[in-house]
Amino acid sequence: MLRKIRKTDKRAISEMVAYVILISIALGLAVGVYSYWSVLVNIAKSPLDCKEGTSVSLENYSCDDVLQIITLKIKNTGRFDVDGIIAKFGEDPNKEPVSVFDPFPIIGAPGHFSFDLKTGESKEAKFKRSNSFSSDYIKVVEIQPFVIMDKRKVVCTNSVIKEPLSNPDCKVK
């Protein structure tokens, strides 16, 4: 009789080991799936944007119809430094400006002008007319600052300004 009890105990131990292994595998898979999804949710949840209080303003502008260049004098009116601007130009103040001009001299992407603009500073950004601009006159400009965070260009979506240009002679033919 003593022998039968030992056999039963061994079987019970092997069943217990199987259950422990099965539960360990299930818990390992659950931890892996949770880790994977939490990383994905964090990436999707936190879009990069500039700090609140980042802003620029258009102090002045001038147009050179011979060289086809528009010069914008940009002032950092925010609380944080700005690394550049994205400018779009339009011919109708009632519509959204969509034309991007090349920075002058041509450095970087169309419409993007990079400079280090400290708080309270003003700098000039020059843009050369692109061939896609159908009108001779610029009537509106949209300016959006950007900053460099972790070696990536982060566009300030809450700091876009749209300025109608009051000078009727702003011609870049």
**pLDDT one-digit tens code per residue, 61-88:** 888 878 888 889 999 999 999 988 888 8
Number of domains within the chain: 2
pLDDT digits (tens, 9 = 90+) for 81-90: 998 888 888 8
Rounded Cα–Cα distance for residues 60 and 8 (Å)? 92
Provide the whole-model pTM. 0.66
In a domain, 172, yes or no: no
DSSP state of 109: S
74 or 149: which leads in pLDDT: 74
- Helix, strand or coil for residue 82? strand
* Per-residue tokens: 68: 């086809």
Residue 85 sits in a domain whose CATH number is 2.60.40
Residue finishing a domain among 46, 65, 83: 46
Rounded Cα–Cα distance for residues 94 and 77 (Å)? 25
pLDDT digits (tens, 9 = 90+) for 10-69: 566 778 888 899 999 999 999 999 988 877 776 655 567 788 888 999 998 888 878 888
Domain that holds residue 16: 1-46
